[in-house]
Amino acid sequence: MIIPNPLLSKKLEIHYWFNDNSHTIDAITLNQSQHEIIALIQEISKEIEAEKQMLKLFRYEDDDILPYEE
């Protein structure tokens, strides 16, 4: 039996449930929710990219942040 690893998945699945135990959502609310999720993912991506750029310019040494010397 093969058990899939959720960390290797290439899709994001979101399950909605509400206080009244229903699982249905109207299209407008769904669209607004998806918009918010995409905005969060984009913001996180920007932060990660900024961090990657900083790591190209600076290095950690003895708990200090120092510029790379050229």
Residues in a beta bridge with 65: 60
Residue 14's alpha-carbon distances to 23, 26, 30, 47, in angstroms, are 11, 15, 11, 23
Q: Check residue 16 and give its pLDDT.
A: 77
| 56: pLDDT strictly greater than 60 | yes
Of the two residues 44 and 69, the one the predictor is more confident about is: 44
Q: Check residue 43 and give its pLDDT.
A: 93
Task: Give the tens place of pLDDT for each residue, 15-52.
Answer: 777 888 887 888 998 899 889 988 998 999 899 888 88
> What is the spatial distance between Cα 17 and Cα 56, in angstroms, rounded to a whole number?
43
Of the two residues 2 and 57, the one the predictor is more confident about is: 57
- Non-local CB neighbours of 14 within 8 Å, separated by 6+ positions: 33, 37
